[in-house]
Amino acid sequence: MIDALFLVAGTAILLWLSRKPLRNPGGHGFYRFFAWEGILGLLVLNRDTWGRQPFSPHQMTSWVLMLLSIYLVVQGIRLLRRQGAPSQQREEHEGLYDFEKTTALVTTGIFKYIRHPMYASLLALTWGAFCQKPSLLGAAIALLASFFLALTAKADEKECAAYFGDEYLAYKQRTKMFIPFVL
């Protein structure tokens, strides 16, 4: 019963946070909502095992991935706010969060190596939540969330290319999507 309550309450919060992006099917925020739902599902599915056997290999892997998740999101948002010159005037896509309304392309720091540190953060969180208690159902949810994060990144790249043009396309050629030097 408590799991159902967490799932319903979490979904309500995610729906509220995504109310504008959900009106734009095909936009990055639309797909991000479904990735968030998958992560919520994993958190609820595995909530009873959090902190049990903290030094087991799967728990240690989980904590490393979750710490990586925090690092990536903090670095990404910090750089977007400092160097991205966010502007309230940028409203071509309804539902952009303030830090997403950048007017300058950020290519330093973590962005020098990967284009999507916030989505990489969500990938790390997804698989970190999965590793708390690996299962077939958890793997299916994690794969689905990862699929939606890939769709999120692809949609975001189309939006960035439309806004920043050739500068973004050149940046895309010299960086990886989620994992430096790999993917």
Report if residue 150 sits inside a domain: yes
pLDDT digits over 127-165, tens only?
999 999 999 999 999 999 999 999 999 999 999 999 899
As to burial, measured by CB atoms within 10 angstroms (0-12 exposed, 13-18 middle, 19+ buried), residue 61 is middle
Report if residue 181 sits inside a domain: no
Question: Which of the four pLDDT bands, split at 50, 70 and 90, describes residue 92?
Answer: low
Report if residue 116 sits inside a domain: yes
Phi, psi of 181 (to 5 degrees): 65, 0
Q: Which residues contact 154 (CB under 8 A, 6 or more apart)?
A: none
Q: Other CB atoms closer than 10 Å to residue 67's CB: what's the count?
A: 12
Number of domains into which the chain is organized:
1
Tell me how long the chain is: 183
Average pLDDT over the chain reads: 91
H helical segments located in the chain: 2-17, 28-45, 57-83, 117-132, 136-164, 166-174
Whole-number Å distance between alpha carbons of 164 and 110: 19
- pLDDT score recorded for residue 90: 63
Q: What is the DSSP letter of 109?
A: G
CB 49 within 8 A of CB 132: yes
- Token pair for residue 155? 């949609």
Report if residue 61 sits inside a domain: yes
Report if residue 169 sits inside a domain: yes
Report if residue 183 sits inside a domain: no
Its domain, for residue 74, covers 2-174
pLDDT digits over 24-37, tens only?
899 999 999 999 99
Sign for the pseudo-dihedral over CA of 142, 147, 153, 155: negative
Pick from 146, 148, 130: nearest CA to 138: 130
- pLDDT score recorded for residue 153: 96
- Helices 136-164 and 166-174, packing angle to 10 deg: 140
Report if residue 151 sits inside a domain: yes
Report if residue 179 sits inside a domain: no
- Token pair for residue 169? 């396309």
Of the CA atoms within 13 Å of residue 87, those in its CB half-sphere come to 8
